[in-house]
Each structure stands twice: as structure tokens, then as C-alpha cells.
Structure 1
Amino acid sequence: MRRSVLLLPVLLGAAAAGPTPALALPLLPHQTALDLDAAATAWILTSTALVLLMTLPGLALFYGGMVRRKNLIATIAHAAAAMVVVTVLWFVAGYSLAFGAGPGPVNSVVGGLQSAFLDGVGPATAHALAPGLPEFLWIAYQLTFAIITPALIAGAFAERIRFPAALLFFTLWHLVVYAPICHQVWGGGWMGSLGVLDFAGGAVVHVNAGVAGLVACLVLGPRHGFGRDNMAPHNLALTAIGTGLLLVGWLGFNAGSAWAADGIAALAAFNTLLAAAAGALGWLAVEWIARRRPTLLGLLSGLVAGLVGVTPAAGLVDPKGACLIGLLCGPACYAGVTWLKRSLKYDDSLDAFGVHGVGGIVGAILTGVLASEAVNPAAAGADVLKQVIGLVAVMAWSAVGTFLILMVCRFTTGLRVTREEEIEGLDYTQHGETVHP
């Protein structure tokens, strides 16, 4: 008590003198001193919330409505689990591996661990890629991309994977696949240096997740009764609500990737809406011709296909380019979820590869064709060959890494539920919960 009384005059004097400046810490190789851009900071704060909305509740409801009722809770649990697992991992090591600087030649592949547990990050630091944003905000915004990517993969193995396996898969996949690919494209790695263009995640998020989903559903095998039993969506109203939330959140996903509140962000926002509408019309037209009737699921799927396709190009093409991307991605993804899946006989439960993989590939290639330096100086040097090289590299890393991780899961947690558990439903067998009629 006496010590507190003696310190009181000192504390009062310090309060009168104003706040104490933050201690200056040595900057890490990837950091710079913060030069605050208030408008950009406000917009990226908003975008962070929008992109987080895409996973919970957007993707959770989008996927949840498409499974059978007995698997609704389990499907939503995958989205929630991806969020909590990746958030902690991003703090521990993911951010540093994705956006830190690795030693020597290793930096072209993956970052280092200087910022593990966010060591060296403070209110006055910024990442060199976005010197106007507080680094903590940059970390939070990039985290939302890291969250949704494994959550997208869960659509491929829905209705048959054990929950412990999903948790282990999300953990290993974030560290082994997502963080290195993110670094290679966005964090100073070799693909970004080569000139591969990916404005908001066509390769890093969608192609990466789509290929991982394809590998996962091939390794796990089809659901019992696939091709014979009725596996139609149990509640398209939930899927429609989820689609609406995805659409709104995608504005933060694409327009936020301008990292500023400027004309490029405005262009990306408009291109996002336009491509989504064009994708829906493209899918609907093909489905109407092929099936003689339009479906709500087709309309919603086409909208998402357009969003996926425009993601790598959103701030690099003019609206005519965005509209063309949407119109082409709608039919391409329709072919992916119908003809391709039937031909290769794989069970991609919720079409993670058919929409995100195919749409991401088409969008990334068209980015090389349509990106314009007149629209955005960052499009200088756009080249289809560079885009293809980037896509092949992402697909190879994702496929090999995903396969190895699934093997680890198989021999530790086990991958699939039993036949009896699958027939009863994952809601009860994995979580002890059910959805009441």
C-alpha cells in the first residue's frame, strides 16, 4: 500500500503529460513503420467483417442446406471448426509462414518464423505490402481468407468424414498447403515475383481448395448409396440465404483486396456484382437447355461460379471483361458438376471442385487474357503462360500436400465414419445432436 501511495504523484504526472509513446521495436524484414491511411483502414476493417461473414454464417448455411437433414449440424460444424482452428494457427505460425520473410532461397517458397505468436508486431508496425494499414488489421484481414479456404474443401468430403479427422486435416492443411501457397503468390514468393496475377484469391483460395477437395473425395471414396439413393438438398432456403451472405461478403473479399478505399476498390466491387449475375445467367441458360427447366439450385450455383471466376481478376479487368468471365464460368462450372463428375465417377458431395476448382482455373486463365494496364497498372505484364505456370504449381502443391495429410489422418484419427454411422447421420453419430423437423 505504501509503495502505491509513493508512486501516485509519478503516475499523476505521467497522466498530465499525455500518453506514453509506444516503444520502438526493430522492424522485421517484411515490416515498415505505419503511415496510417485512415480511409483505407476503415474500409479494410469493414472488409474483414464482410469476409468473415462469408464463412460464418454464409458458407455454413450454403453448404448446410445442400446436405441431407441428418448431416446439417455436422456440415455447419466443419465451417465453425475451420474458423477456430485456423484463427489460433494463424496467430501461432500461419501468418509468419505466409507473409514473413524466410531465410535465403527458402523465402521463395515459404516465410520464416520471426513473427510466430505475432512477435514483433505492434500498433505502429505495418506490412511492407500495405504500409497504410496497421499490421494487426492486415493480419486480421488475411486471416479471413485463410479461414474460408479449408472450409470450402469440407464441401467435397461432407457427409462421410470423421470429425476428429476434419480437425486434424484443417490443422495440417493450413500449415503445409495454405500458408506456403499464400506466401508464393502474395507474400513475396516466386509466383508473385514471376508475375502471376491473383487479385483476390483465384489460385490461393479457390483452385487450392478445389483441388484439395477433389483429392479428398477420391481418397475417401463415394458416400454409401451414391448414384442410387436420393441425396437431394434438404433445404434450399438455407442455401439461398447462405448464397446471399456469400454475395455480400464477397464485396469485402474482392474490393477489400485493393487494400485501399479508391477507384480500384470501386471497380472490383462492381465487377464482383456483375460477374455474379452473368455467371447465374450463364449457368441457368445451359441448365434450361439441358434439363428443360431452370432450378433455384442452378441459379444459386451459377451466381457463386461467377463470383469464383472473377475473384482473380476483379480489380484488373474492366466491366466488359468481368461480364465475359461470369458468362463463361457459369457454363464451365455446370459442366464441372455434371459432365465431369459423371465421367470420372467421383463423389464431390457439394461440388467444391466443380465450382471452386473449375471456376478458379477458368477465371485465372481469363485474367491473363483480359487484365488491362489501362485499368490497373498492376496488370502490366499480364500473360496467359505465367497464369498457367502458376495454376500448375498451385494444383501440384495442393494435390500432393493434401494426399499426404489425408494419409496421416487415415493412420491416426481414421478418415471415414462407419457405414452404420453414415446411414444414421453424422449429426448424431459425431456430435450427439439432431435437427428437429
Structure 2
Amino acid sequence: MEKIYVLDTNVILHDPKSIFSFEDNKVIIPMVVIEEVDDQKKRQDSVGSNARIFSRYLDELRKKGKLCDGVELDDGGRIKVELNHQLLTELPKGLDPNKPDNRILATTLGLQEDGEIPVILVTKDINMRIKADAMGLAAEDYATDAVNIDELYSGIKNINVPSDKINALFRDKKLELNELDLEERLYPNEFINLEDEFGGSQSALCCYDEAKNKLIPFIFNPTDIWGIKPRNREQKCAFELLLNDNIKLVTLVGKAGTGKTLLALAAGLQKVVEDKSYKRLIVTRPIVPMGNDLGFLPGDKDEKLAPWMRPIFDNMEFLVGGKDENGASAVADLKEMGLIEMEAITYIRGRSIPNQFIIVDEAQNLTPHELKTIITRAGENTKIVLTGDPYQIDHPYLDSNSNGLTYVVERLKDKALVGHMTLYKGERSQLAEIAASSL
């Protein structure tokens, strides 16, 4: 049955292509949304970019017909800019009719009163959905890029096999996949923990090579990467992905204290400083404050970034401090040599970055569109590592199911150049593990 979808401003600023995501249904853009998007177009971040992209889309559609009458979309749907309902519909008492959110609600309410076609408000604002429900309106989150966090691909799988298959893997350094009666699909670079099906203690940790359709032992067996030793199975798997130059994108997901950032930095330093496989290590993270923002910060770019990059510096000084009595000085020396660069996400847009090892920390605070922008910056022989905890999100319109990190994990899990690992066990301290697991 045909439906009418009314889009809130935050949906468009989250994904400017959202207007094309509703198949053969009708998409309504209230005039107040156009005004709010216009207010954001001069921003020099992803929000401003999305506002400008959306405006260009509408301008192209305008050439096909009048937006006030509705314009046909390629997928059979129809888009219309609604002018009148926010003026004609009476809002419930207590709601300010001049407030943009309330004008969007009025538009939705007016459309619902017009006919029998179901009208649904699409918004990423939880309170907006609550207000819509209180007014008897259907409302839902923008779910096109949503992922069920409870079913997120983990990167590792336990498989029970006869003990002779485990012996064959150790003996032949491979195990043909057709020798196993598997019902589940394996993804490229997925890790497999083979266990004795009869309950014996024998087991083997291996990796799936899609090109050869075989299970193979680990290529790397790191015992000391910049003073870091893997403490559990998942960390060992993470190092296997981080040290493999054939895997160009690595995603590491885990709660606080599981070692995501530390493992990525250790591998990056190893690859850049010791192995010289890459020209430079670039570390970046989204500038999204937890709690109240501190406002504008004084100084040049590095001084402005210093508070946001403090967690990175802490980990870096811990690593480099193992080789130098003055860890902080050693980090500064690496920066002066051009081997390490701290960069803001804002300045990555438009760049082409070849032959570098890039770490994007706290990637759960980025939208799918922002992460796409970052990943498409990768030039020849560049490796990108995304780390983050989907349960610790500071972005107002993202959650554990709709952030860019989980979206990338699910959408790219079947690609040969991509590897993923979910880290479960906290290794920072007993107190940190208790807090992450129990609070």
C-alpha cells in the first residue's frame, strides 16, 4: 500500500540521499525543513556538506517539474515540498506554532487528516517521535542504514570438527573447505576456531582464505609488537588483520578497555617506523564532545586538537615510552620526522592519501556517509583502521544500530580487502572491566 513519508531535517542532514530511499511511496519535505537545511549550508563540516548535496538534488528535481505539485522519482516514488499544512492545521495547546519541529508535526498532522493514505513521520530525534506518538501520528527512525547490533558480524566463529581435521591443519598448513560439512557461510578473512566435536581439548585457530577456499594457519604470530603482546584470542586475531598489508580496511569493535586503539597504534608504529611499509601514520578522531562543549580553543591547529587527541597521545606515549626514557619527547620527534600526523576529520575531505596507515578512532561517532567519505580518501597502498565502541556514542542522532562503524562492518564483511574483529575481554584493568561490564 502506498504511504506518505514526511522527512525531518535531521534525516536529510544525516543522509542527503534519504529522499531516494522510500521506493514507490510519496516523500514530503515541509517548507520549514528547506529553511533549516538552508541555515546549515555554510558549515564546513559533514553537516554543511550534506545540506549542500541535498539542495543540489532538489535543484535537479526541480527541472523535471514543480516541487510544490510533486515530481516523479526514478524508482516510481514522488517527492513534494509541502507549503500549506503548517499554516492550516491547529496544533495542540502548549505547542509553539513557530517552532520548526512543531511546524513539521503540523504538516504531518494535516496530511493525515487529508485522506486515507498512511502518513509516517521519519525522524532521528527521539523526542520528536514521542511528541508525534502523543498526537496520534505514526513516527519511526530512519532505518535504511541501521544495523541490528545484537546480530553484528563478530569476525570469528567456533566450528566443531573431528580431531583428525585439526591434525590435518597443523600437518598440511591448510584445510580444504570442502572437507568440512559447513551449513554457515564463511566471510573473507573470518577467523575460525576449530574444536574437537567429541569434547577433547584439542583446538586450532585459523583464518578463511576466500581466494583459495581454504582454512589456513595464521601468517603472523606476533609476540612483541612495540612492546605489546596479545593477551587473548581476539587480540591475536586483531594483530593478524592489522599486520597483513593485503587487508586494506580493518574494523575493530569492542567495549572500553579491550585494547582497540592500543593494538591499532602498535601495529601502525610497527608498519611505519620499523617495517617502513607505509610512509606515515595518520591518527584522527571525530570532534564530538562528551557532555558540555568547551567552546573555541586557542592556538594553532595542533594546539586546538590537543584536548581531543589526548587519549591518542596517552596510548602513543605508553608505546614509545617502552623504547625511550622520555615517551612524550619521542612522540614529538616522530612528528617532526613526518612519521606521525594527528589530523582532524574535517581536513580529510577532498584529500587523496596514498601509502599511509590511517587510524580513525571513536568511529562510532561518525555517520555512514562520513565514513564513506573517509574510506574513499584512501590512495594506493593505504591501509585504514576503524576502531570504536557502538555503545558509547556522543553524537545526538546516532545510536548503536545506526552509526557508521557498525554500518561499515555489516556492508563490507563479504569483501576480500576487509577484515573485522570484535574484542570482548577488557584488559585495561580489573576496575575498567567491572565498569564496562556492570555499569
TM bin (shorter chain): under 0.3
| Largest Rg, 1 or 2 | 2
The structure carrying a bigger helix percent of its residues is: 1
Structure having the higher strand fraction is 2
With the length of structure 2 as denominator, give the TM-score of the two structures. 0.22
TM-score, normalised with respect to structure 1: 0.22
Higher relative contact order by CA 8 Å / sep ≥ 6: 1 or 2? 1
